Amino acid sequence: MTPREQRLAQEHTLLSPHACRADQSRGRERPEEECSIRTCFQRDIDRIVYSKAFRRLKHKTQVFLQPEGDHYRTRMTHTLEVNRIARTIARALGLNEDLTEAIALGHDLGHTPFGHAGERLLNSLMPGGFAHYQQSLRVVDRLEKGGEGLNLTWEVRNGIVCHTKGQQAATLEGQAVRLADQIAYINHDIEDALRGKIIYPMDIPLSVSNLLGFTHSKRISTLVEDVITASQGQDAICQSPAIGEAMATLREFMFESVYTNPVAKGEESKAQDMLRRLFEYYRSNPDELPDDFQDIRVKEGVDRAVCDYIAGMTDPFAIEQFSKLFIPMSWTVK
């Protein structure tokens, strides 16, 4: 037996009846010869990790724009934390960790520069709207590998596009990532907000702390343990009513105290103005789009090409392009 065949046999022996096994995948849009070592989901992990879009996540805002300090989250560190939480849930429930990891690592590939501020701006400019979860699917289907896409399995693609809104993912692994994403961002955003003195420990609702815990690690442990307990033997990933309500209260607190806080989000309007001017510039000067986006311009229109280009930018690259186009440069007379 090849290493892949051994792994497939192990999945049938070790995984829960509710898990998605690699040899039960609906496959890829373009059929490929199987790897002798890796299952289809393991190959998808590698394709995502080696993609350009994944590398760019390290320079994309999570919540705080341009924070001073080395310890604030980026979109990359958020993705890694989601992956760890989701895999912990998957392992405890006997789900497919490879599928879970692929979805977790790919779920935010389509996120814009400057976090949700950038997403809201592109949504207002792009005909038909813009959502990062749909863009994540577009990245893996259309934009990576010079326009060929990564040709991921159906289950990974489904988990990516269903990770935040709308219909639940078709697999429990995808549902685990969706809940892990919420657990991760609420709790690490609290930690970053505390570090930035946007909130203080006593601001967190006492009823929530009494139930979930008073520290970052305790809150995550309580939430993860509850998901595992509530989901045992179920055909869906879920929370107990009490813990689910506490997390909803915590999320509401974060929106009121952090996500709309004028101190924490005071620079967002500047970032949006910058992205708006970039969008308008490239819409009026599409010949200046990189070669990778000219085919999109021809086949799908200028707006689509401009949107894809700007959505893929990192924070510093967007600032650099804006500076080149709109800020007078110094020069020396010799």
How many whole angstroms separate alpha carbon 301 and alpha carbon 286? Answer: 10
116 pLDDT higher than 70: yes
Q: Is the pLDDT of residue 140 over 90?
A: yes
DSSP per position, 106-138: HTTTTPPTTHHHHHHHHHHHSTT---HHHHHHH
What's the average model confidence in pLDDT over 91-116?
A: 97
CA–CA separation, 38 vs 2, rounded Å? 9
Average pLDDT over residues 45-57: 98
Query: Got the DSSP string for 50-88?
Result: TSHHHHHGGGSBSSSSS-SSS-S-BHHHHHHHHHHHHHH
| C-alpha span between 19 and 13 (Å, rounded) | 11
Give the three-class secondary structure for 311: helix
Q: Is the pLDDT of residue 266 over 90?
A: no
What pLDDT score was predicted for residue 187?
Answer: 94
Which burial class, exposed, middle or buried, applies to 127 when counting CB atoms under 10 A from its CB (0-12, 13-18, 19+)? exposed
Whether pLDDT at 121 is above 80: yes
Q: What six digits make up the tokens of 163?
A: 């990770």
Structure confidence at residue 326 (pLDDT): 93
- Contact between 36 and 2 (Cβ < 8 Å): yes
pLDDT score at 264:
66
Q: Is the pLDDT of residue 330 over 90?
A: no
* Of residues 188, 215, 185, 207, the one with CA closest to residue 104: 185
Residue 104 pLDDT exceeds 80: yes
Tell me: pLDDT of 64 over 80.
no
In which band, very low, low, confident or very high, does the pLDDT at 100 lie, cut at 50, 70 and 90?
Answer: very high
Mean pLDDT to the nearest integer, 216-243: 97
- The predicted model gives 92-120 an average pLDDT of 96
Residues 174 and 162: beta-carbon distance below 8 Å:
yes
Give the confidence band of 66 by pLDDT, cuts at 50, 70, 90.
low
The confidence band for 165, taking pLDDT boundaries of 50, 70 and 90, is confident
What's the mean pLDDT when you consider all of the chain? 94
As a whole number, mean pLDDT of residues 290-306 equals: 97
Which residue, among 143, 147, 136, has the nearest Cα to 104 in the 3D structure? 136
